[in-house]
């Protein structure tokens, strides 16, 4: 479903060329759950942004269902993301002056649903993540874990086939982080494909595959029972 073919990404920084990804090849099949681990600066977030059509490679191809993402223009990539990809970040990016319900309604409004449909679907999503009694609470009135669950509900609003998560447990205590990964496992059980960047070893181990990045290279597949193609 998600592929990278000989992808390199370089930046110029103070006159020096920085290699963020170095000839990365990766094939994530539909329905997989992959975690990416590695030290800061190893290329994990760069890889995730490229898989989501948000950062073009210097060379090589990134494909979603055999569609080369960066052969599309910016509007084409935006349409593809809107219909297929959900993002979860360490920073929840909730609108502070909107309630939990209103935050989840944002993508539904942008998709053209009427008010009643928005309210019904947003309510159902918040109930799914255990926040049915917090619909009218603003982010400042919620715990950190509850804010992350609002972000999860909002991510699910357009029913994405792919979830890309960047440090989704980074701001959470161990118990709440465990609960969060439980949600990801449930989403994966529904057939969604998940790629997750994490520094949390417990979270990483619960994915079906755990890949390590070092200096822009995918250096090992640490889960042996299934083969995930990397090069």
Domain ranges of the chain: 2-230
Report how far residue 108's alpha carbon sits from residue 157's, in angstroms, rounded to the nearest whole number: 6
Instruction: At 144, give phi and psi (nearest 5°).
Output: -60, -45
Query: Domain 2-230 belongs to what topology?
Result: Rossmann fold (3.40.50)
Burial call 197-231: b when 16+ CB within 10 Å, e when fewer: bbebeebbebbbbbbbbeebbbeebebeeeebebe
| Tens-digit pLDDT profile for residues 200-218 | 999 999 999 999 998 888 8
Contact 129, 153 (CB under 8 A): yes
Say yes or no to pLDDT of 112 above 50: yes
| Tens-digit pLDDT profile for residues 10-63 | 988 888 888 899 999 999 999 999 999 998 888 898 999 999 999 999 999 999
pLDDT on residue 51: 95
Q: For strand 193-197 and strand 16-28, is the pairing parallel, antiparallel, or unpaired?
A: unpaired
How confident is the prediction for the chain on average, in pLDDT? Answer: 91
Instruction: At 64, give phi and psi (nearest 5°).
Output: -120, 115
pLDDT > 90 in the chain, percent = 80
Mean pLDDT across 113-133:
96
Mean pLDDT across 117-124:
97
Contact 185, 202 (CB under 8 A): no
Say yes or no to pLDDT of 156 above 70: yes
pLDDT on residue 223: 52
Contact 140, 109 (CB under 8 A): no
């Amino acid at each position: 479903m998600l592929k990278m073919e000989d992808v390199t990404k370089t930046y110029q920084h103070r006159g020096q060329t920085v290699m963020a990804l170095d000839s990365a090849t990766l094939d994530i099949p539909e329905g997989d759950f992959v975690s990416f681990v590695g030290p800061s600066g190893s290329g994990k977030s760069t890889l995730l942004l490229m898989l989501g059509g948000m950062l073009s490679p210097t060379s090589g191809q990134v494909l979603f269902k055999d569609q080369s993402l960066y052969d599309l223009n910016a509007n084409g990539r935006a349409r593809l993301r809107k219909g297929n990809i959900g993002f979860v970040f360490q920073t929840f990016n909730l609108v502070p002056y909107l309630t939990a319900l209103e935050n989840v309604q944002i993508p539904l409004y942008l998709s053209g649903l009427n008010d009643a449909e928005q309210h019904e679907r947003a309510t159902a999503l918040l109930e799914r993540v255990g926040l049915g009694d917090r619909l009218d609470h603003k982010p400042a009135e919620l715990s950190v874990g509850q804010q992350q669950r609002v972000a999860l509900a909002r991510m699910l609003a357009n029913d994405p086939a792919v979830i890309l998560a960047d440090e989704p447990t980074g701001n959470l205590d161990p118990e709440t982080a465990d609960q969060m990964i439980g949600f990801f496992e449930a989403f994966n059980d529904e057939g969604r494909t998940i790629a997750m960047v994490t520094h949390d070893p417990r979270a990483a181990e619960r994915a079906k595959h755990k890949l390590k990045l070092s200096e822009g290279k995918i250096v090992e597949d640490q889960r042996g029972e299934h083969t995930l193609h990397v090069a």
